[in-house]
Amino acid sequence: MIVDTLEECDRYRRLHPGFAAAFDFATSRDLGALTPGRHHIDGERLFVSIDHTEGRGRGGARLESHRRYIDIQLTLDGDEEIGWCPLSQCRAPAAPYDEQRDIRFYADPPDSWVAVPRGRFAIFFPDDAHAPLGGTGLLKKAIFKIAV
């Protein structure tokens, strides 16, 4: 997991071939003007989902993991908190892996919580279980999905 500000995104561009394109998109467009839903940047290899939803609070956020995609979750507005736990420590799957949606949920609690307010992003790799929407109030986010 990585947490940083959008102003510092250049230091992560070389970590994965899709990161440069994702950060270029994030810094060259008004993401707040995009309609909620999926926007393709490079087909299924890279897309962004714009989400406007109410936070669930820590008690309602559930750990999830992905096998095929890395998440870059960028908060556009609101006070997001995201729980985290190493996937290797998750012992209580809440459902089987959903291959079509590339997601598995867990009943385990997060080990820690990180604040991801407006202008900050968090990167979650396939070995990072994460619980988004731990904030409260209206959250506007851009979730970049980058194929592993």
* Average pLDDT taken over every residue of the chain: 97
Give me 132's structure tokens. 């988004």
- The correct answer on CATH 2.60.120.370 for the domain covering 2-147 is yes
Structural domain spans, the chain: 2-147
For residue range 101-140, list pLDDT tens digits in order: 999 999 999 999 999 999 999 999 999 999 999 999 999 9
Q: What is the mean pLDDT of residues 65-81?
A: 98
Q: What angle do CA 94, 96, 97 make, to 5 degrees?
A: 115
pTM value surpassing 0.75: yes
